[in-house]
Chains A and B, each alone.
Chain A
Amino acid sequence: MNDKSPIVEIRGVHKRFGRTTALDNVDLQICPGKIIGLLGANGAGKSTLLRHIIGLYLPDEGRCITFGCDAAKLGPDELARIGYVHQNGELLEWMTVGHLVRYVSSYYQNWNRQLEEKYMKEYELASRTRVVALSPGQRQRLAILLAIGFEPELLILDEPASALDPLARAQFLDLLLQIIQNENRTIIISSHILSDVEKVIDHVVIMKEGRIILESGFDDLRERFSRVRISALSGDLPATLPFATIVHCERSDGQAVLTVRDCPRERLQQQARDLNCWVEIETLPLEEIYKIVVSA
């Protein structure tokens, strides 16, 4: 992740809430242009980490630097470059959608009216509806619109699709794909819907109990984990299969389905040939990789 100077640097951050350790010695660098999937179970520390990046939380130890500035001291200039969708979608309830959009846009000089109109229409947000009367899905759409309307350099999405229906989620993913066409835009997306996330991310950070347990490029990660279907061309499979790290194995009648990690495809194929076996290698979906990493 060090090909460009980072826009977010998290160094040795510790955070405790009473007796609970929310973040435990977290180090992370985020470079511009990356789309990062921040994954982890509930309570893993994802939202806490995101809130540190924008200075809403302060670390007990360590430092968090965003756009070269201590996150605690972020001012209007830096905040105007950050879009944030909060998982509970706090909005000004008493305003109408139109009022709220006009109000929020007044804070940003580079507010994109065309983008606003386009997504108001696509997201079916009626200008005269009170925010308080919106459904959870509509609220989330509005929050997304407010976060992207000024085309921020850093977009932080904390569970952005949790309240969206499948159609709206698809629209949201399309939107993300359009946004990431701008090379300099960085997106950090925290979500439990991994099948969606894997369509857009190019980097994965997995957290568990306040610690980062895996940080990797998404393509590298997919290379590391494979599902191997192997069947003996004659006779039965040997009792011990000579592959590197077998995470999971199911055997039946001269066939086996293996989940292996850290074993290149070429080597897998070579080893299968040596065993006189037919082999089929599949890439694992992110959800399965996540399960393996977290349960390891």
Chain B
Amino acid sequence: MSILAVNLKHLYQRRAFWFVYLLLGCFLFRGRFVGFLMLAVVFGLLAAALPVEVLSRPFSFCLPGHRRIPRQFVFVVGVVLNCLGALIFLAYPGLQPEQTIPVICSAFFAGMLAYLLGAAVAFAAHGSTNYIGFLPLLIFAVQLFGLNVAVERVIVTSPLAVIIAGAFTSVVTWFWLGGDRRARRFCGVPYMGLFDVWNREKLQRYSQARAARLWPKLKGHPSPAVEEFFLRRMVASSRRSMGRYLWGALYTSFGMMLSRWPQTIFAFMVFLILAGYIGPGGGWLVILIAPAALFICMRPPVYSTMLISGGRHERFAVTLVLVAVIAVAAAAMVGLVAALSIPLAKVIPAVTLRGMVFGFQPIDARLLLGPLLVCPFVVAVQLLFFDKVVLQVLSFIILSYLVAAVAVIWRLELGVVINPLSVGLLLLLSWLVFIAVLHRVCTKWCLVRR
């Protein structure tokens, strides 16, 4: 079997790819004719990420013939994909028989252009598969500016120009991907491949390597004042008391954030303006997802091999207090956002974009209950599925749908469902579940996952 064939087998051997095909297929049918170009961008990125991932393994550099495989792989997949994709234009309304072949060729090369754009991103940026997250934004921009209509028109009315542009780009890319230079560049470099986000160990290694490049820019942080503040309190607490552990946990969780207070305030302002422009429905999403994102980044002190995290009893108490502090701080932040949004709504102008008006609206102060409700749930999920990132993400997706459902209810003015009693019960339930999970983990589970 040829090396290329072995690499191509990834496309069906990786079960997760079938899920991607399903998602992309749905997307293709939802889109118009130009939808396949979007698909080509995404697929270009995914397809190129596969051989790059192989190249990043140090041993592959020494494997005969492996250094030049990415070029063959990218072009074989691209040509097959775009040949099939271009056939969609056979159903283009009003297409004359004599136009068929030029338009199909034009669609093929337009597809190649889009596909090679995606592939170029994979080769140019480390962790490129993260850029798939920008896809909804791209779709939004395409629809907002009517790019889909314009691109379709260009493919149909100016096939020669598209064919020349596509052919030229393909030739240039063919030479760009040749040679050993690229293989040498990726050899042994931490690279997040497709679905590596599920691999906690690799994710950690990658983040560490990335952080090592970024940290030198943060010279002087955490600032001596912040460090002094927390360390003084730690030392002042009795050795037997929980205070020392609690202040230590607060320092490790918030030390850097407090030390970099201008950036924190800037992020807060961006958050405030975004929440205001999205309005009451979207505000729910932003405000509830924010603490969830915070916790995904945070590591609860429960699972730690460092003995300074204390015994099991200390880990339980410190995590409980820490989560309560974060939940209250997040709620206070939402409350502040809501309070500030009222005067700001009178000052910040509405933005009009291609006929759509985005107005800054005051935020409902009742949303401050959101973090109090979500934080314990998020940490409970994190504790339960500490080394199973897939299950964590699935849980957060379910949470997002729940939040969206609540937002819909809110919009439909079924506020009667959300009354003090129901919210109180939900809060109680959420915290009881969290405490039960935390207690179980701290008393019965191993604190170092295998």
Chain A contact residues, CB within 8 Å of chain B: 17, 51, 54-58, 72-80, 82-84, 86, 88, 90-95, 99, 102-104, 106-107, 109, 128, 130, 132-133
Give Cα A94 to B226, complex, Å. Answer: 15
> Does B387 make an interface contact (CB < 8 A)?
no
Chain B: minimal CB distance from A95 (Å):
8
Kindly list chain B residues whose C-beta atoms are within 8 Å of the C-beta of A74.
311-312
8 inter-chain pairs at a CB distance below 8 angstroms, sorted by A residue, are A72-B312, A72-B443, A76-B314, A102-B227, A103-B231, A104-B308, A107-B234, A133-B212
A79 neighbours in B (Cβ, 8 Å): 307, 310-311
Q: How far does the Cβ of A150 sit from chain B's closest Cβ, in whole Å?
A: 10
The yes or no answer to B208 lying at the interface (CB within 8 A) is yes
- What separation, in Å, do the CA atoms of A103 and B314 have in the docked complex? 17
A93–B205 alpha-carbon span in the complex (Å) = 11
Count of B residues near A, CB < 8 Å?
A: 36
B447 touches A80 (CB 8 A): no
Interface centre among B208, B311, B314, B448 (most CB of A within 10 A): B311
Within 8 A of A (CB), among B230-288: 231, 234-235, 239-240, 244-245, 248, 251-252, 256
Is the Cβ of B305 less than 8 Å from the Cβ of A107?
Answer: no
Shortest A14–chain B CB gap in Å is 14
B239 engages A109 (CB within 8 Å): yes
- Which residue of chain B is the closest to A152 with respect to CB atoms? B307
**Given A17-B450, A106-B235, do A73 and B313 touch, yes or no (CB 8 Å)?**
yes
> In the complex, which residues of chain A have a beta carbon less than 8 angstroms from the beta carbon of B215?
94, 130, 132-133
Contact assessment for A84 and B305 in the assembled complex, using a CB-CB cutoff below 8 Å: yes
B208 lies within 8 A of A93 (CB): yes
CB within 8 A of B211: which of A57, A76, A94?
A94
Question: Cβ of A58: which chain B residues have Cβ within 8 Å of it?
Answer: 444-446
The CA of A99 and the CA of B365, in the complex, are separated in Å by 39
- A107 CA to B244 CA in the complex, in Å? 7
**Given A90-B306, A107-B308, A130-B216, do A51 and B234 touch, yes or no (CB 8 Å)?**
no
Tell me the minimal C-beta distance from B190 to chain A in angstroms: 13
Given contacts A57-B446, A86-B305, A77 and B211 within 8 Å (CB-CB): no
Instruction: Report B-chain residues with C-beta under 8 Å of the C-beta of A107.
Output: 234, 244, 248, 308
- The CA of A155 and the CA of B409, in the complex, are separated in Å by 58
Q: Could you say which residues of chain B place their CB within 8 Å of the CB of A54?
A: 307
B215, B227, B305: most-surrounded residue (chain A CB, <10 A): B305
In the bound complex, residues from chain B placing their C-beta under 8 Å from that of A57 are: 446-448
Query: When the two chains form their complex, are residues A75 and B314 in contact, meaning their CB atoms are under 8 A apart?
Result: yes
Near A by CB (< 8 A), chain B positions 277-323 give 304-308, 310-314
In the docked arrangement, what's the CA distance between A95 and B307, Å? 17
Contact residues in A for B314 (Cβ distance below 8 Å): 75-76
- What are the residues of chain A within 8 A of B234 when measuring CB–CB? 106-107
Contacts of B443 in A (CB 8 A): 72
Shortest Cβ distance from residue B212 to the other chain A in the assembled complex, whole angstroms: 5
Q: Given the complex of chains A and B, what is the CA–CA distance between A17 and B239 in angstroms?
A: 35
A72: B residues at CB distance < 8 A: 312, 443
Contact: A84 with B313, CB < 8 Å? no
B222 close to chain A: CB less than 8 A: yes
**Contact across chains for B307 and A84 when beta carbons are under 8 A apart:** yes
- Decide: A55 and B450 in contact? CB cutoff 8 A: no
Q: Say how far B390's CB is from chain A's closest CB, in angstroms.
A: 18
Residue of B nearest to A57 (CB): B446
Q: Give Cα A102 to B239, complex, Å.
A: 16
- Within the complex, what minimum Cβ distance (angstroms) separates B400 from chain A? 28
Cβ contacts under 8 Å, B304 to chain A: 90
Say whether, besides A90-B304, A93-B208, A106-B234, A76 and B311 are in contact (CB < 8 Å). Answer: yes
**B208 A99 Cβ-Cβ under 8 A:** no
Per-residue 0/1 for B139-180: is the Cβ within 8 Å of any A Cβ (1 yes, 0 no)? 000000000000000000000000000000000000000000
Q: Are A82 and B307 in contact (CB under 8 A)?
A: yes
The residue of chain A having its C-beta at the shortest distance from the C-beta of B314 within the complex is A76
Contact A99 B227 (CB under 8 A): yes
Report the bound CA distance from A133 to B235 in whole Å: 28
Contacts of B235 in A (CB 8 A): 106
Q: Which of the residues A90, A103, A132 comes within 8 Å of B251, measured between beta carbons?
A: A103
How far, in angstroms, from A102 to B251 measured CA to CA in the complex? 12
Q: Are A88 and B227 in contact (CB under 8 A)?
A: no
Task: Please name the residue on chain A nearest to B446 by beta carbon.
Answer: A57
Contact code string B43-82 (vs A, CB < 8 Å = 1, else 0): 0000000000000000000000000000000000000000
Which residue of chain A has the shortest Cβ distance to B244 in the bound complex?
A107
A88 with B231: CB separation less than 8 A:
no
B239 contacts which chain A residues (CB < 8 A)? 76-77, 80, 109
- Residue of B215, B235, B240 with highest tally of chain A CB at under 10 A: B215
| Min C-beta distance of A79 to chain B, whole Å | 5
Asked whether B305 lies within 8 Å of A90 as measured between CB atoms, the reply is yes
Q: Which of A56, A76, A102 contacts B231 (CB 8 A)?
A: A102
Q: Which residue of B lies closest to A86 (CB)?
A: B305
Q: List, in ascending order, chain B residues with CB within 8 A of A95's CB.
A: 222
From known contacts A17-B450, A84-B305, A106-B231, infer whether A94 and B313 are also in contact, taking CB-CB under 8 Å.
Answer: no
Q: Are B227 and A94 closer than 8 Å at their CB atoms?
A: no
Interface pair A106/B248, CB less than 8 Å apart: yes
